[in-house]
């Protein structure tokens, strides 16, 4: 069978900053009046897992060419761009990958970002998403560097199933150990994300709820999404979040909880006995585009305005061309002010881009 070649990056032009400068005011909004509040930064395109819905081994095999180190944003470049984004209103930064803990000396980057302050003088909510494989050995150093908390991806408790899904023969026990170590280090509240794929791991919903109920961790169930072009997504494999809630409620009665913020992606449900909560993220069946405040910065410095984007904006080229901070701020402002992305709302409609035509960026390139 011929090997599939999946394009990970588009050819992007350096953003325009000519004309009148735009000074950051912390109040940047897009065409739908959505403010810029969250920035997700991918620090590596590499991962030691080969999850079937993200980096399937038949694409990301031993011959796959990952980005050379010189193409990655340096820590200094990431800090500089983050500083401008914070001036524009970003309050939360999440480090992603690939697997971000594979980036050498990531603690040094965290130390730099932890010193940033919002225009009002508040520290950032600085978080990281990980597959948990290196978390036990890294948790204390991450906390000491200034990381606020972590989110851990875990798609099954059954060890044989989990090993098949990560396709790297990595054990559930090691991820659970990483979660416990991170809790002990103070990286809490920990969120545990489970991508639910009907017919693959949906039988693990109740066991996962049982395991984390009362643990202090917040378990979140994510609908299997049509991100990128490599995972062979099919709507029949999506289990609607409403059914996830029904399954758990049948064993452990739930009640709805109010959202912490208007931009929160997860619907919150609390156990009626007060032993914690779960969340469901329903970007397929219940789009939350209207409240999306997230931008994504790829490993090589492309700015994407939607998880389902086809093209990005080359901020690395901009800063390496010698542009000053004012010019970078102006370019980012113009990009965000022109944003109208709402793919999940349009999915399946005549206005939605065709899956056959769209060359969507891969999740492993810009993070989930």
Binding-site members are: 40, 47, 51, 53-54, 94, 98, 129, 153, 191, 225, 289, 292, 294-296, 306
Sheet with 125-130, side-by-side order of all strands:
254-257, 267-271, 277-281, 218-223, 191-196, 149-153, 125-130, 92-96, 38-42, 294-297, 302-304, 313-314
Distance between CA atoms of 265 and 36, rounded to whole angstroms?
A: 15
Classify residue 70 by its DSSP letter: G
Distance between CA atoms of 197 and 237, rounded to whole angstroms?
A: 6
Q: Are 57 and 50 in contact (CB under 8 A)?
A: yes
Distance between CA atoms of 28 and 37, rounded to whole angstroms?
A: 9
3-class secondary-structure state, position 290? helix
Distance between CA atoms of 197 and 156, rounded to whole angstroms?
A: 11
Residues 6+ apart with CB under 8 A from 338: 30, 31
Distance between CA atoms of 68 and 89, rounded to whole angstroms?
A: 32
Indicate the annotated binding residues for GTP. Answer: 40, 94, 129, 191, 294-296
Indicate the annotated binding residues for [4Fe-4S] cluster. Answer: 47, 51, 54, 289, 292, 306
Classify residue 362 by its DSSP letter: P
Residues 6+ apart with CB under 8 A from 156: 162, 165, 172, 194, 201, 204, 208
Indicate the annotated binding residues for S-adenosyl-L-methionine. Answer: 53, 98, 153, 225
Q: Are 352 and 308 in contact (CB under 8 A)?
A: no
- Characterise 109 by phi-psi region: left (phi > 0), alpha (psi -120 to 50), beta (else): alpha
Classify residue 66 by its DSSP letter: P
Count of CB atoms situated within 10 Å of the CB of 157:
18
């Amino acid at each position: 069978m011929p090997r599939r070649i999946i394009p990970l990056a588009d050819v992007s032009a350096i953003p325009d900053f000519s004309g009148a400068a735009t000074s950051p005011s912390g109040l940047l909004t897009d065409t739908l009046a959505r403010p810029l509040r969250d920035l997700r930064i991918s620090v590596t395109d590499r991962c030691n897992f080969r999850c079937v819905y993200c980096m399937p081994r038949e694409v990301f095999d031993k011959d796959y060419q990952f980005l050379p180190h010189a193409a990655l944003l340096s820590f200094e470049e990431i800090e500089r761009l983050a500083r401008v984004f914070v001036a524009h209103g970003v309050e939360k930064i999440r480090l992603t990958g690939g697997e971000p803990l594979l980036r050498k000396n990531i603690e040094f980057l965290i130390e730099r970002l932890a010193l940033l302050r919002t225009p009002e003088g508040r520290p950032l909510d600085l978080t990281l998403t990980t597959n948990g494989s290196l978390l036990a050995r890294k948790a204390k150093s991450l906390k000491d560097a200034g990381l606020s908390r972590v989110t851990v991806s875990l798609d099954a408790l059954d060890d044989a199933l989990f090993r098949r899904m990560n396709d790297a023969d990595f054990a559930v026990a090691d991820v659970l150990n990483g979660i416990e170590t991170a809790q002990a280090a103070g990286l809490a509240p920990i969120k545990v994300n489970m991508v639910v794929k009907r017919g693959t791991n949906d039988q693990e919903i109740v066991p996962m709820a049982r395991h984390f109920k009362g643990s202090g961790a917040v378990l979140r169930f994510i609908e299997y999404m049509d991100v990128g072009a490599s995972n062979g997504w099919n709507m029949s494999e999506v289990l609607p979040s409403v059914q996830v809630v029904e399954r758990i409620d049948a064993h452990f009665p739930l009640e709805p909880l109010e959202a912490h913020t208007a931009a929160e992606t997860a619907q919150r449900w609390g156990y009626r006995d007060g032993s914690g909560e779960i969340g469901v993220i329903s970007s397929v069946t219940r789009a939350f585009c209207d409240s999306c405040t997230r931008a994504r910065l790829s490993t090589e410095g492309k700015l994407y305005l939607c998880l389902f984007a086809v093209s990005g904006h080359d901020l690395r080229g901009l800063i390496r061309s010698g542009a000053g901070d004012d010019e970078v701020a102006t370019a980012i402002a113009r990009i965000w002010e022109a944003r109208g992305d709402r793919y999940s709302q349009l999915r399946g409609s005549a206005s939605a881009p065709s899956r056959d035509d769209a060359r969507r960026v891969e999740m492993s390139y810009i993070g989930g």
